[in-house]
Structure 1
Amino acid sequence: MACRVAVIGGGWAGLAAAVAGVQRGAQVTLFEMAPQLGGRAREVPVDGLPLDNGQHILIGAYRHTLALMRTVGASPEALLLRCPLALVYPDGSGLRLPPGPAIPAFVRGVLAYPGWGWRDRASLLLAAGRWGASGFRCAPHASVAQLTRSLSPAVRQQLIEPLCVAALNTPTERASGRVFLRVLRDALFSGAGSADLLLPRASLGALLPAPAQAWLQSRGATVRMGQRVQQLQREGSAWQMEGQAFDQVLLATSAREAARLAQPLAPAWAARAAAFDYEPIITVYLRCPGARLPLPMMALQAGPQAPAQFVFDLGALAGDRGTHGVFAFVISGARDWAALGLEATAEATLLQAQAAFAPGTWPVVPTVLRTLAERRATFLCTPGLDRPPAAVAPGLWAAGDYVEGPYPATLEGAVRAGQAALAAALAG
């Protein structure tokens, strides 16, 4: 008899677990309390436009995520714009990695960085050499700020800070140096194409949730939408839940929801899962008919009066969705701005947009289309963070980007966690 597996939560971790379960012959039932799949990476229609709850990107190193997309029939080649890593500012400065083997491409990109002197370039190349010699490891309690203090101020401000907040959604002075180095290793130094930016040409729903749901249902899995699991009960060797019996249960929910369900069964694990601190991400969508940016994605100089670190030209990425003249300004590490309020944040972003680009970029004055905040976008990825294991109790597993692992809260981290939890459940 096939193993009966319940997956609670239909975000990217839950979808990864459910697909892996079907592939391995399990009888899978997926529960999702929201009316749509996707979790924190989902489509949110705005004024009839298929926008998202935040602008997510993938990179070439996200091999598990890309393989999962292909499995469910979502072609990365068709749905993602692949381009070499370019963190370019409106004035034309920034890091551009040329195609080719990883290490030579990095060296060439650093040496060609406009506006940097030889001390800036040497400080980064020497530091990268030390990180590589150490196996991209550092002391568990080192922050990114401590890890990079030998770098010049220009390198820290123009490269390290935007990379850190993009990857970890945590300011450098509070971010884990160990996790940051793992991201750098996999993205910049793990093979040709690993650092490539993969920018969505379609909504997040089309990247995975919609095709995964169709794939699961076509193969006999049950997907129950709009149903929040209230409690878990163990009766003999089976779990009783929502009138059904299951052999294995995977908690692919948020850490807080997993803690609620696990608390009566594993209070110590639940306490660890409930203890995370979170960092928001705010996305300000601006509209300016007729406007185009030099690149589909550009870096911005953030500061006390300038919230956003990146901007995306959605018309250049997905103009067939009616998004010509729509721009997504992304504010990571947005705790202070969230405290000021979304209206104030949007007003500051509008001023930043007008000031950052050359005259003529905006044919007319941009207007705010919508401001969206994901209040618990990611856990605060601090040094020595206590992340709970995937094993919660016999037959009960956690599958989320917050469980023990080397990655921050990313789509790839979620997918890997879901697949790993499913494999452990069936092995146990």
Structure 2
Amino acid sequence: MGAGWAGIACAVEAVRRGARVTLFEAGRQAGGRARAVDGPGMVLDNGQHILIGAYTATLELMRGVGADPDALLLRQPLSLRFADGGGIALPRGPAMAALLAGMLRARGWTWRDKAALLRTAAGWRLRGFRCDGHLTVAALCRGLPPRVREELIDPLCVSALNTPSEQAGAEVFLRVLRDALFSVPGGSDLLLPRADLGALLPEPALRWLRAHRCELRLGCRVQTLQSTPDGWMVDGEAFERVVIACPPGEAARLADAAAPAWSRQARQLRFEPIATVYAQAAQGLPRPMLALRSGGDETPAQFVFDRGRLGGPSGLLAFVASAWHGEREQLESGVVRQAREQLGLALQPLSTIVEKRATFACTPGLVRPPLDLAPKLLACGDYIDGPYPATLEGAVLSGLDAARKATQPF
């Protein structure tokens, strides 16, 4: 139940394993919190999602349903450059060599800054990218110079975990760094969507599922879930096994009677929003993506994307403010100020989209709900217990895990 990225991954994998699948989705459109939406005279995304080269499961799933990552995603080495030339960018090449070269070439950094980061990164690697599970990212990086924290650690943390470094869990942050840098060649590369999010996975996956005789029920919100001796009744209809692939609140509602302890755990999760301000400028950016100097209400956005360089209309920019809790008008005025002061651009805001529960707050010591709820009843989603924060890869991996378990003999 649910056709977000986790539910889609689960349905595709279950069909591949020979199961007869019925996919319920409350909305008329698949994709969940990573989908295309109608904007003012154009199709927009409900948020800017960056994939990275280490998202091997997501990339494989895309290929499997007929979506070509090479055509749909712009691959570039990790870059956290600011418009004034500051920040860090990694060249292509082996992970450690690229990281070393990026640190040495970081503009505006002193040798003390570079040496401190190199020393700290070497220590993380020697310890296997592990740390005390109760540390925050800010505490983990307290010994680093302010410029390194502001231009590298804080942007990486908020982009990967959507949680400010003062609150984010260091253990998960280090795991993301480890897998991005050392899991596969090019794992830290940024993969920027050159099409709307629907074209990346939801739309081709639905076509694939239809072609493989999966029953799709879009616009159908499940109301009741009841246990039977042979399986489960979904709104009075019998199914042998059920996977709940809904957001935590909806999943908890459905599971209240069957798994009350699981539902309580799901309801205890806290969430962080992501806001995207789409705006028109007379010209685009020098690169498809730039970091922004952010902090507080006056400078709310951490990144800006040039949608004109990524297949969209010329001059269309998307400003992303992760973990934004302020008012919409305050956000838009702050973005206009950032564009003027940091980019030298005058903006006309077009549309602001706020996903209020975009991700769970990835805090130290967080205990997430498990995959299993009850016999023949499973759950999947980016919030389910797993190694990663709330990312597209985390959602896909959870969906694949649920499908594999659901299709095993009981």
TM-score, scaled to structure 1: 0.94
Q: How does 1:14-413 map to 2 (within 5 A)?
A: 14-289=7-282, 291-304=283-296, 305-319=298-312, 323-335=313-325, 337=326, 341-358=327-344, 362=345, 365-413=346-394
The answer (yes or no) to whether the contact 1:102–1:191 under 8 Å persists in 2 is: no
Compute the displacement of 1:246 (Å): 1.2
Report SS of the residue matched to 1:27: coil
Counterpart residue type for residue 232 of structure 2: W
Counterpart code for 1:293: L
Partner amino acid, structure 1, of 2:109: W
SS in 2 for 1:142: coil
Counterpart-to-counterpart distance in 2, 1:189 and 1:350: 38
Structure 2 residue matching 1:375: 3-state secondary structure:
strand
SS in 1 for 2:400: helix
1-structure distance, mates of 2:132, 2:380: 27
SS at match of 1:383: coil
The residue number in structure 2 matching 1:422 is 403
2:295 and 2:383 mapped to 1: Cα distance?
29
| Counterpart amino acid of residue 51 in structure 1 | L
d(CA) in 2 for partners of 1:220 and 1:242? Answer: 22
Q: CA deviation at 1:243?
A: 4.1
* 8 Å contact from structure 1 (residues 29, 224) kept in 2: yes
- Structure 1 position 133, deviation (Å): 0.9
The 4+ residue runs of structure 1 with deviation greater than 3 A are: none
CA drift of 1:270 comes to 0.5
- What is the rounded CA distance, in whole Å, between the counterparts of 2:130 and 2:230 in structure 1? 42
Is the CA contact (8 Å cut-off) linking 1:12 and 1:411 kept in structure 2?
yes
Question: CA contact under 8 A between 1:276 and 1:379: conserved in structure 2?
Answer: yes
Whole-angstrom distance in 2 between the partners of 1:134 and 1:263: 41
CA contact (8 A) 1:65 1:412 kept: yes
Q: Answer yes or no: is the 8 Å Cα contact 1:102–1:190 preserved in 2.
A: no
Q: What residue identity is the alignment partner of 1:80?
A: L
Is the 8 Å Cα contact of residues 282 and 334 (structure 1) preserved in structure 2? yes
Give the C-alpha shift of residue 32 in structure 1.
Answer: 0.2
Superposition deviation, residue 118 in structure 1: 1.2
Question: In the aligned structure 2, how far is the partner of 1:129 from the partner of 1:51?
Answer: 41
Tell me how far 1:48 sits from its aligned partner: 2.1
The superposition leaves residues 49-84 of structure 1 with CA deviations (integer Å, 9 ceiling, x where unpaired) of: 111001111000000000000000000000000111
Aligned partners of 2:381 and 2:399 also within 8 Å:
yes
List per-residue Cα deviations over 1:111-144 (Å, max 9, x = no partner).
1101111111111111111111111111111110
CA displacement at 1:236 relative to structure 2: 1.1
RMSD (Å) for aligned C-alpha atoms:
0.9
Question: Contact between 1:169 and 1:333, CA under 8 Å: does it hold in 2?
Answer: yes
CA distance in 2, matches of 1:40, 1:366: 26
Q: CA deviation at 1:150?
A: 1.4
Aligned-pair CA distance for 1:242: 3.1
TM-aligned CA deviation for residue 41 of structure 1? 0.3
Contact 1:142 1:176 in 2 (8 A): yes
Deviation at 1:347, TM superposition (A): 1.2
What SS does the corresponding residue of 2:49 show, helix, strand or coil?
coil
1:220 & 1:244 partners in 2: Cα distance? Answer: 19
- Write the deviation string for residues 347-367 of structure 1: whole angstroms up to 9, x where unpaired: 111111111124xxx3xx320
Which secondary structure does the structure 1 equivalent of 2:407 belong to?
helix
% same residue = 54
Is the contact made by 1:19 and 1:212 (CA closer than 8 Å) also made in structure 2?
yes
Q: Distance in 1 between matches of 2:314 and 2:24?
A: 36
- Aligned counterparts of 1:333 and 1:189: Cα–Cα separation in 2: 28
Rounded Cα–Cα distance in structure 1 between residues aligned with 2:81 and 2:261: 46
- Deviation of the 1:303 alpha carbon: 1.8
CA distance in 2, matches of 1:132, 1:247: 46
Normalising by structure 2, we get a TM-score of 0.98
Tell me how far apart the structure 2 counterparts of residues 114 and 343 of structure 1 sit (CA, whole Å).
34
Task: Look up the equivalent residue of 2:281 and give its one-letter code.
Answer: C
